[in-house]
Structure 1
Amino acid sequence: MQVTPTIWLITIAVTILFFVYEFFAHVRTPHEPTIGESARWSAFYIGLALLFGVGIGTVSGWTFGGEYFAGYLTEKALSIDNLFVFLIVMTGFAVPKKYQQKVLMIGIIIALILRGAFIAIGAGLIENFSWIFYIFGALLLFLAYKQAFGSHDANPADGKFMQLVRRVLPVTDEYHEDKLTVKKGGTRYVTPMLLTIIAIGFVDLIFAVDSIPAIYGLTNEAYIVFTANAFALMGLRQLFFLIGGLLERLVYLAQGLAVILAFIGVKLVFHALHVNELSFINGGEPLLWVPEIPIWLSLLFIGATIAVATVASLLKTRGDGAKKDRDQVEGEPVVTADAEGTDIESGLDDGKSTATSRK
């Protein structure tokens, strides 16, 4: 795939302009977005991402187009998982809803910067050290295990890192609109708003470690890696408000992501064996009999896994909700009336009945 420095500069400039527009058009004035506003902009950014993928496929070939779509799907799924952690953080810090947009916007920009740095580092490592695929593959398999069996209920707002920050920085207990610092009695204090942004930045760093090896398992093209990440992050703020209630229903999202990360980890290990240069493995010769997983299979597997995890989550939470409603109904006394206007209350637990007069 031929990407000139001019195309890189244009792509980065347009990406920055989108986020600048987002800030001045939507975030600068604190407010809680409506469902309609969130839906329109989410649809716009998703449509733009799909159109860009079609453009890559048309101009550079559908092998690269497939790599982009597989990468975009993976990064979008990881970004939604990222949103869930953002929700936990903002709940832990009790961020007022009208200020949540600013927190999300800053968090997304931090994520893009961190991922951009990791993309550059990853591209350099892959170009010079083919054995890095072994490390990326092993890392993804480890992260898949942590994703599937680790705790997802821990609140980063109460973690050791934030406890250290609170000990180092003077912190106010209350918000002062959306200000990050405030001066009281001649002393400069940081507000919970700034603590929230620090916590989200820390979370972004952890998620960057997940996402970059994952997408490099699908493509070696740094341009595809960057654009897939950029489009996955665009519209994430609106998506947060659009599916805010749905996030808590995606109970199997972590397991679905674990399966995807494990699949890409295996794919990376297979690729590492196929291009092997390590002397202690097959005498430094490639293992050409090891299969390379084609991109069409990766795209199909990732899409199917996301769909299954989403449908299973919605069915599970709907079933749990129906069961809870039945339990509540069964636990309440059934009230009927006799012919004389007397209420008869049936005790469901012990079969006894008591009568009380309406008088």
Structure 2
Amino acid sequence: MQDVSGVVWVATVLGIVGLLLFDFFFHVRKAHVPTLGEAARWTSIYVSIAILFGVGVWIFGGNQMGAEYFAGYVTEEALSVDNLFVFLLLLSSFKVPRADQQKVLLVGIVVSLIARTGFIFLGSALINSFAWVFYLFGLILLVTSGNLLREQHGDQEEKPDNFVIRVARRVLRTSDEYDGDKLFTYQDGKRVLTPMVLVMVAIGGTDILFALDSIPAIFGLTQNVYLVFTATAFSLLGLRQLYFLIDGLLDRLVYLSYGLAAILALIGVKLILHAMHENNVPFINDGESIHVVEISTALSLALIISILLITVVASLLSPKGRTQTYVAAARRHATEFLDIETDPAYCDEIFHKLLVEEARLKSLPEKYRAQIRAEDELMALLHRAHQLHEQRVAAGTCFVPESAGSREARA
């Protein structure tokens, strides 16, 4: 299976395209807010497909290829979770209604998959032609690892901004308001683009930039183009469902970036050691191979899984993570209630969620409650949400929500 036949390639690509089309026509075409059960069900289905595919690779390709696939898939999936932080900030920044976010994510994923496929074949061609590329990829991952650690001391709530987003804002002239999930609408009698196009470009372009980290990372675990492609594709396929499943937990993973920094550093070192073993750069050891101990794929897989387990468990047990989760959720629900959502029934649901988050904030230790009360912007945001709700109740356009306790008792 090292030299995968054209028939297998075609069948794999058709299978992936079929999954994307199924996702669009049966889930995304009709705008709706996915329930937690729906997101969990389809996330588990996509993860199961990826695992079953890996089992097939292990059976038909052997232990080495099986380990390489799973190491690549786990790493790409972990990096995808980190990317969801940026997606969350992007969708909030562009004020995309919750029901319309699915289409944005799916289009962004398709654009990313096409672009990453090009990067994969380009990376493979470079590796086959120039052994020094391993040094370059290794250095890229070490620099990225350092950047992840540095960002932990920065502002995690600042709006995402990069070259793609700036160019898109300048080039694409859109209407001021969304028209559902339509890409075109009429404004002053003229057919114009909606902000939905701008959001899709921002999501797709940002995900392409993420490939500059993830593609070198997976090439550090396997140089088999088929395995690189399939591990990357399967990690992206379930990303939309995963977003709706864990977006409430993203802020809880306070140590995930540390874990990802360690993983990228590990793979970076692995790549440089491999480059030294395969060395033919004239000014390094006179172009001769350097005898070093290389990190095996099996050891890499074990270390990657261990690092992820440690960082996730530490994040979930951390009082800081719990506080950050409640604060971010309260801020997000208040913003949605005030500025984004317009459907009365969904606004009632959002306000109920906001009350639940406020109750959770009050359950935190006094140390963290004092820090929250000191956040004037958050307190003002919550106050405005309560004022607007009272106005809607007085006007008869909103239901009075149940308390969290009465709803749980009724359930």
Match of 1:326 among 365, 373, 376: 365
**Contact 2:168–2:202, Cα closer than 8 Å, also in 1:** no
Instruction: Note closer, same or farther for the CA distance 1:118–1:317 as it changes in structure 2 (3 Å cut).
Output: farther
Deviations 1:304-340 (A, max 9, x none): 1111111111122467548972218998xxxxxxxxx
Which of 164-173 and 248-257 deviates more? 164-173
Per the alignment, do residues 329 and 32 of structure 1 end up closer, same or farther by CA in structure 2, a change over 3 Å counting? closer
CA–CA distance in 2 between the matches of 1:205 and 1:135?
A: 19
Paired residue secondary structure (1:325): coil
Please give the alpha-carbon distance, in whole angstroms, between the structure 1 residues aligned to 2:263 and 2:28: 33
Write the distance in 2 (CA, Å) between the matches of 1:114 and 1:194: 18
1:217 and 2:220 equivalent?
yes
State the TM-score, normalized to the length of structure 1: 0.87
Are 2:305 and 1:303 aligned? Answer: yes
8 Å contact from structure 2 (residues 182, 196) kept in 1: yes
SS in 1 for 2:121: helix
Residue pair 1:119, 1:226 contacting (<8 A) in 2 also: yes
In structure 2, give the amino acid aligned to 1:48: I
Aligned to 2:42: 41
Aligned to 2:271: 268
Distance 1:319 1:223, change over 3 A: closer
Indicate yes or no: 2:106 matched with 1:105.
Answer: yes
Please give the alpha-carbon distance, in whole angstroms, between the structure 2 residues aligned to 1:234 and 1:328.
Answer: 41
Partner of 2:138: 137
What is the aligned partner in structure 1 of residue 327 from structure 2? none
Match of 2:54 in 1: 53
What TM-score comes out, normalization by structure 2 length? 0.76
Q: 1-side partners of 2:369 and 2:167: how far apart?
A: 49
CA displacement at 1:191 relative to structure 2: 1.7
RMSD, aligned CA? 2.0
Of 71-80 and 226-235, more deviation after overlay is shown by 226-235
Of Structure 1 and Structure 2, the greater helix share is in 2
Is residue 155 of structure 1 aligned with residue 154 of structure 2? no
What amino acid is the match of 1:85?
V
> 1:250 maps to which residue?
253
Asked if residue 171 in structure 1 is aligned to residue 174 in structure 2, the reply is yes
Contact 1:114 1:204 in 2 (8 A): no
Unaligned runs of 5+ in 1: 332-359
- The change in CA–CA distance for 1:30 and 1:312 in structure 2 (over 3 A counts) is same
Q: How far did 1:93 drift?
A: 0.7
How far apart in 1 are the matches of 2:42 and 2:120? 27
Work out whether 1:7 is the aligned partner of 2:8.
Answer: yes
With over 3 angstroms needed to count, the CA separation of the structure-2 counterparts of 1:276 and 1:160, relative to structure 1, is: closer
Per-residue CA deviation, residues 183-212 of structure 1 (Å, 9 max, x unaligned), is: 323444322211111111221121111110
Q: 2:347 aligns to what? A: none
Separation in structure 1 between the aligned mates of residue 95 and residue 321 of structure 2, nearest angstrom:
30
